[in-house]
Amino acid sequence: MRRLLIVGAGEYGHVVRELALQVGYEKVEFLDDNSSIAVGKVSEFGRFAGEFDEFIVAIGNPAVRRSCVERLAGTFKLPTIVHPMAYVSPEASVGAG
């Protein structure tokens, strides 16, 4: 079972959730300090290490996003999620996250 933890339950996070479900993730949840739909706060990420395999940060602010990625990088795998109908140039490089 593919399990994804999304940091950020705002609009960007919901777009990532929809995409993740389309590409085969079976369990997708949010961490967010200010959302009632999140399973926990960002500072609690460690308690989810056995429950989720991968995480992605869906926060619009680049500085905050980078900080979260750096904090969580050793705990979970950071996947690359590409919509099945997206065109990716053969000359492009798609990295983790």
Domain count, the chain: 1
Q: Residue 74 corresponds to which amino acid?
A: G
Per-residue pLDDT of the chain (97 residues; tens, 9 = 90+): 899 999 999 999 999 999 999 999 999 999 999 999 999 999 998 899 889 989 999 998 999 889 888 888 777 788 888 888 889 899 998 877 6
- The parent domain of residue 37 ranges over 3-72
pTM of the complete model beyond 0.75? yes
**33-41 LR contacts (CB < 8 Å, sep 24+):** 35/9, 35/10, 37/9, 38/9
pLDDT of amino acid 49: 85
The reply to whether 81 falls in a domain is: no
pLDDT of amino acid 44: 92
- How far apart are the C-alpha atoms of 55 and 76, rounded to whole Å? 6
The reply to whether 78 falls in a domain is: no
Token pair of 2 as six digits: 């593919």
pLDDT of amino acid 93: 86
CB distance 30 to 39 below 8 Å: yes
CATH of the domain at 63: 3.40.50.20
pLDDT of amino acid 97: 65
The reply to whether 64 falls in a domain is: yes
Residue listed under structure tokens 């919901």: 14
